[in-house]
Structure 1
Amino acid sequence: MLLDFEKPIVELESKLADMKRLADENGVDVSEAVRTLEERINQLKRNTYTNLTRWQRVQLSRHPDRPYTLDYIEAIADRFIELHGDRTVGDDKAMVGGLADIEGQTVMVIGHQKGHNTKQRQYRNFGMANPEGYRKALRLMKMAEKFNKPIVTFIDTPGAYPGVEAEERGQGEAIARNLREMFMLRVPVICIVIGEGASGGALGIAIGDRVFMLENTWYSVISPENCSTILWRSWEYKEQAAETMKLTASDMLEFGLIDGILDEPLGGAHTDPVLMKTVVKEAILQQIEELSQIPTDELIHQRIEKFTHMGVVLESAPKVTGS
């Protein structure tokens, strides 16, 4: 998948490939020209990917080749046992989870799961979980708490499933219950936004002691397209909406809504998934080690304080002038 802003880079890379091919066919030494063009391509990549607009980062967060939850689990876990079902309705395929061993550390891993092709996306409901998905997530969190295992969540969803049947089964209640229960979990909770982080569908598994975002991801109450539709009755203003909403990782860090940003390879996580998975693995292990040193009651206290202070605005009392 080629994004609009990547076309100049691809055109230069195509020229470079043609130059190398012609040189091989004719036995001509063009090493100097190749080196010059490679430097030009690298410089263009740096300029492009370090100065992306907010909408362009949203586009990168949705790239179909980006690693999803199960991709990360497969790469970072020495062993993974997937657990199914919410014990009430069924097994939501848009929410996956289970026990994983990472470098000898057992953790409960939970996350939204999309798909790499049309069939998988339909099977996973495009990463949009139903109420039973959030209830399954909570069941696994409580299991982790019972056995004193840290929890890691991967967030990547365009939102909770908005269908009538989801509302009938209590979508809002399921997410709200997760928020309340996650505040009081007596084990470390690490949350990582690996793609899209939209609305309550993301927040339903995102109350953690440490919340991180990958560099080219977004986190907001609504997507730029839907925001544009509500405000301007058209999707045409999605880029303007993205800029106004300030939904990127750097924005969230500036607002104090997340604890850190995990750098992606130049061009996005999909350009070097092996490196990206290594970065995520190291971050998880480091945070588990740090959080494990904090007493349980203090851990819960810090978690509550962290989230309750978000969005607090202090206003000074107006001056009273004498008559």
Structure 2
Amino acid sequence: MEYLDFEKPIQEIKDQYINCILIEKKSGVDMKGVCNQLQYKLEKTIKKLYSKLTPWQRVQLSRHPNRPYTLDYILSITNNKSFIELHGDRNFGDDKAMIGGFGKIEDITFMFIGTQKGKNTKDRQYRRFGMPNPEGYRKALRLMKLAEKFRKPIVIFIDTPGAFPGIEAEKRGQGEAIGRNIYEMMCMKVPIIILIIGEGASGGALGIGIGDKVSMMENSWYSVISPESCSTILWGDWKEKEKSAEALKLTAEDMQKLNFIDDVIKEPLGGAHFNPEQAYKIVKKKIIKYYKELSSIDDIEKLISDRKNKYIAIGCFND
């Protein structure tokens, strides 16, 4: 387990707790009393630490190297070996930063789509750090249309620092691909559930972010720009990132207050990276809940109309 700077007090107590158990095993001395005290102290420290996180600390948690990624969620919440990954945009190629395919939760078939980061240096390069090219967004749209054809609900996991900013991506129509997805998703004739599980940055997130239910994990963020980039633009120095994270109102709590999202998904104590299995169970339960709510709407036109009105209601404008 890796620890962030503000998590160091947890690491120290946890190390003491582990040492306590090892001493008891090696020496045979009864250390249960000390171990119980350390366990109580650990739980108390975790609760105290995570009850007053700053926006910047939540951004750090969203990027935690041990945090579950899209494929972790999909493979854990779907029935055993039911997920079938589909590849390619049928135009240019297969973008490894965007994954998708059919899978089952209980007896319900979903189309799962999401941005995928890597767990090590080689994998991160292979996945391009979860930053899709235009063909990634076009692959996502192809899969959504496939789900629409077979009348299957769509579940989308968002965890991206943004769309890939390379020259080749721009040449192949990055902006058009994102815009096309937003346009098409507004009129998709099946329920769409959006889950922001980590980073939700810029148009890279919005390109697969239009849905009937939009929820954020407790330690995720959603914004037009990252705190570092915002800090560089406004203050000419990325070191003001904590100030910009506060100003951007990018946390799940902020997004819910502003009516940009429908729900905040509570994470296990200490964050999803502390207890991934529990996080998977929570997310699975939420998906089933959202699906039941949306599937109760029999009129497809009403589903689409509600989806459009949901986004029209965001912000203020004058005719």
State the TM-score, normalized to the length of structure 1: 0.94
Structure 1 residue matching 2:273: 3-state secondary structure: helix
Which one is further off, 232-241 or 8-17?
8-17
Structure 1 equivalent of residue 13 of structure 2: 12
Which one is further off, 74-83 or 186-195?
74-83
The Cα shift of 1:25 comes to 4.3
Q: How many residues align?
A: 314
Alignment of 1:99-248 (within 5 A): 99-248=102-251
Name the aligned partner's letter for residue 298 of structure 1. K
Alignment of 1:71-110 (within 5 A): 71-78=72-79, 79-110=82-113
Q: 1-side partners of 2:264 and 2:7: how far apart?
A: 23
Backbone CA RMSD of aligned residues: 1.3
Q: Structure 1's 161 and 30: CA in aligned 2 closer, same or farther, altered over 3 A?
A: same
Q: 1-side partners of 2:20 and 2:88: how far apart?
A: 55
Structure 1 equivalent of residue 316 of structure 2: 312
Structure 2 equivalent of residue 319 of structure 1: none
Structure 1 equivalent of residue 63 of structure 2: 62
Structure 1 residue matching 2:210: 3-state secondary structure: coil
**Match status 1:254 vs 2:257:** yes
The match for 1:286 among 274, 285, 289 is 289
Q: Structure 1's 174 and 12: CA in aligned 2 closer, same or farther, altered over 3 A?
A: same
The Cα shift of 1:87 comes to 1.0
Q: Structure 1's 292 and 37: CA in aligned 2 closer, same or farther, altered over 3 A?
A: same
Q: 1-side partners of 2:53 and 2:89: how far apart?
A: 40
Q: 1-side partners of 2:21 and 2:83: how far apart?
A: 44
Cα-to-partner distance string for 1:245-294 (whole Å, 9 max, x where unaligned): 11011111111110101111111111111111111111111111110111
State the TM-score, normalized to the length of structure 2: 0.95
Q: 2-side partners of 1:191 and 1:253: how far apart?
A: 14
Q: 1-side partners of 2:67 and 2:13: how far apart?
A: 23
Cα-to-partner distance string for 1:88-126 (whole Å, 9 max, x where unaligned): 111111001111111111111100011111111000000
Q: 2-side partners of 1:241 and 1:217: how far apart?
A: 16
Structure 1: stretches of 5+ with no match in the other structure: 315-323
Q: 2-side partners of 1:311 and 1:133: how far apart?
A: 29
Q: 1-side partners of 2:160 and 2:21: how far apart?
A: 42
Q: Structure 1's 277 and 28: CA in aligned 2 closer, same or farther, altered over 3 A?
A: same
**Match status 1:300 vs 2:304:** yes
Structure 2 residue matching 1:271: 3-state secondary structure: coil
Structure 2: stretches of 5+ with no match in the other structure: none
Q: Specify the structure having the higher radius of gyration (Cα).
A: 1
